[in-house]
Structure 1
Amino acid sequence: MNDQPSVKPVTVRGLPTEVRQLLFAEKTFETYYNLVGAVGGDKSQIPKLLVLFSDVLTGREDIHLFPTKLSELFSIDETKGYSLAVQLMTGVLMQVDDLFQDLDFQALTREWSTKDDQEEESAEEFAHTYVEQMPGKKDERSSQRLEDVFTDLAEGDLTHDEAASRLAKSPKVGGLGIDPTVAESVVDVFETEMKGKVFLDDVPVNRPPSKPNQPQKPQIEAFTEEDEKEIEQIKQEKEAALTHEPITSIEGVVKRVCEDKRFQFDNPVLTERCQKVVHSRVRGVRDAFATRRQLERSVEQGGVGVTGRSLAEMTQLLEQAVEEYHAHAGAQIEQEKEQAQKVKEAAASAEEQRQVTEQKVMDKRFVELTGKTPRTSVSPTGPKRSRTSAAVSAQVETQQREGKIDVARVKTIIEASQAAAPKSAPRPKPKRVQDVVFEKRLSGPVEELKRLTLTDFRRLSSDPVQATTKIKDKVDLLENLGYEQKVEGIKAWRSSPLNRLYIELAEQAVLSGTTIQAALESQQERGVEMFKDEELKAVMKLNADLRF
């Protein structure tokens, strides 16, 4: 097959680090082999697929020609090329779509899906058909509410937890009153049926018209004592929130948000997560949008799992508390600066007055002792860099110094100095100054991760899996010190010689058109110090686990 034009070697260094790690991950390579094998493509051309990814994502190739390029690369027909492009887009590139704002991955997927002869169906149509095919008796109102929840879930307007929460709500507030465990199962089954489908936009559903001779009776809801108690409790909580004490510390912000009765968590782990998220927001590690995403993220993914109205109220309360804390801190800093400036000015004025008074006394004593008028001012008798307390006035201090002067002794010393000139003493030899030698100091976890080499990795443990566990333990230790410390630890690992060795090996495999395993064997045959097979797999898995 030498008729095909050779692929020009290009580098993937123009892509963000997250994209490169995703494309070179072991799990992603398994996806490549499965998808290419499903359409009957040539699996030996998979390394060149990474070069094609780099070309279309960096703009060297038109991304609209991606299906055609896939057909040429894997020797498959055009229909299979469009099918493979859709699968690669939804299975791989959709994970990093937020890093490419100028590329609309969803629009491209819909365009290629229509050319792949997939059935054109909107999210609303799919939800309507799914609800109609569900077993059991359903009234019209329940069916409509169930369709609305499934439609919003299919269009991405609701998350998994939000959809289950809406189904579990009381029918009085627009829900179905389903048990939360059953609601989770219903949403899971629907997401399984929906997986891999691409929906069209704005396709109305043709529902049968309602019968005119059967008007629906309005539902009458009574106002009970329980409702009155709930309203009274809400009033009390609002009044307590309006009469809180001013926030003067970061701990005050954390207490205001995480200990609020509306957002209290039964699980102490969730309470600790909430405190860490609020702490990072106050210190500026996260902005308001990143904080909201972390609060909304599911518990299984490391979030707090707050959704719906509770999420909106918690976010609003947090931002108000942060603004109040920053306002108080700014005012306190300005007040301390003004007070320090006043003290400094008062001390300078007292020092200046003391020096003037002391200078006059010294000039007067010089005239009495020598009988001459001083041509220049005589320096004070105090030691160099001496300080005088502001509590003692300049006049009192001067009188104290004046009383300590022995006039007769001063005259005797002056006459003796005039009679015989002192002999100059020999200057001592200067002492030899030795260079300062700094002692070696221990480094912290961040420095250890940044300097980690292949030799250091093997010293951690003879088992590569145990060695990577120790590295993750260091990152977990940094996370206990603060979220920003964890971020610094992961960045240090990514810049370490060990991780750079893995990245260079993967790039060599892409540029040479071989697999990463073949590139590793080539380096080992040349005698270069390189990973073993188990070490390479352990490092690839470690890169997939270290996220922030």
Structure 2
Amino acid sequence: MPDQVLQNNTDEEILIKDESGSFKLYSHGQLRDYQEVLSSQLKVSAPSPAPVAPNLPIDTGMEEPMLQPPPPAVRKKTASFYFHPEDEEEAAKFAPAAEADNLKKYGLEKIVNKAIADHQLSLSQQLQSRLQNIIFSYLRDRRTAVDFQEALVRAEPEGGMNFSVEQAEKLMVFLKDIKGKINKEQGLVIEEKELKKNEVSAKPSSAKTFPLQKAAPSSAAELKPIPKVGQEPKISLMPEIESSTAVSQPARPAEAVFRQAEKIPPKLFKFQRPVKEGKMSDVKREYKLVGPVEELASLDLITFRRLGLDTRARSEKIVNRIEALAQDSFIKKAAGLKAWRSCPLYRMYLAVGQAGMEHQLAAAEIIEQYQSAGKEILTLEEFEAISDINRHLRF
């Protein structure tokens, strides 16, 4: 078979096929096996294997940035419904305190005094007490960091501290550091009066002990002779009466007592028929003109159910009345909120929440127990409606 000459892309290399059918490469005056040349070129030019990338989505530049998953939720032993921070502090007093006995205690007053001294705050006694309550609610996880900063920046007539944003942020960083150290030590922040009360109750009652003294032997026992053996002691059946003892004489003879008793006349009891009272027909009920604040303060369960056909309409009326007060002035709004939180309806709602926290039961179970006992109580729908009112007002 004639040799076939194939010209390669380069001018210096020629591919030749011999009679046996194998290819040879003629390059630079040398004839080499074509397969060996190919294998040598592959070894030289073969790039290092690229690292295998994991199966990731292709970044096209159009995707939205992926957010990190949220941290696992931490269950707080507080009410699942909306409580005002002051109401939650009051309800927390009814919770069992057995878990807090073994925790390390930190005084609240020392933390507040250090915060005031480090940040050079000049506060009155009333504002210092208010700041202490706000810090206490934050360190006890009854107020979030956002609520804490909001309370610091809020105006004084609305229950805040009227701090600047810079002061609130600095105080927030300071307390967040302290709170982290307390949580690391698994401690608990309590007030000084509670700390002193726990110390007094922990001390054992110190009862005074008096040494027992042996009774001194009487002189008569010392002078009494010891009977000799074989001689029977004389026993006197009648006790000896000393001549020095004076016999008490009766103050008056018995005859005088009997004569005085005879002179007392017997009492005569007269039976009188009860006089019939006339019917009161001229008494009328007095009606007082009350304003919106007084009306909120006297709101009870019966009056609440008369406000509308359903619970939603009743709740809207209460919210509208408080918002109408807010349009007049902040002082009237604060008075309306205070009246709402002191009315009998709100106290009933608060009692259900306290009972649920104390016995670790849901609000529906507490309401069912009240209803089975025949007591007047909120329904579950009304309870949730009041919780929604609190969430809407935000106090």
| TM-score normalised over the length of structure 2 | 0.35
- Structure number with greater Rg is 2
Query: Which structure shows the bigger proportion of residues in strand conformation?
Result: 2
Query: Which structure shows the bigger proportion of residues in helix conformation?
Result: 1
Query: Of the two structures, which has the highest relative contact order with CA contacts closer than 8 Å and spacing of 6 or more?
Result: 2
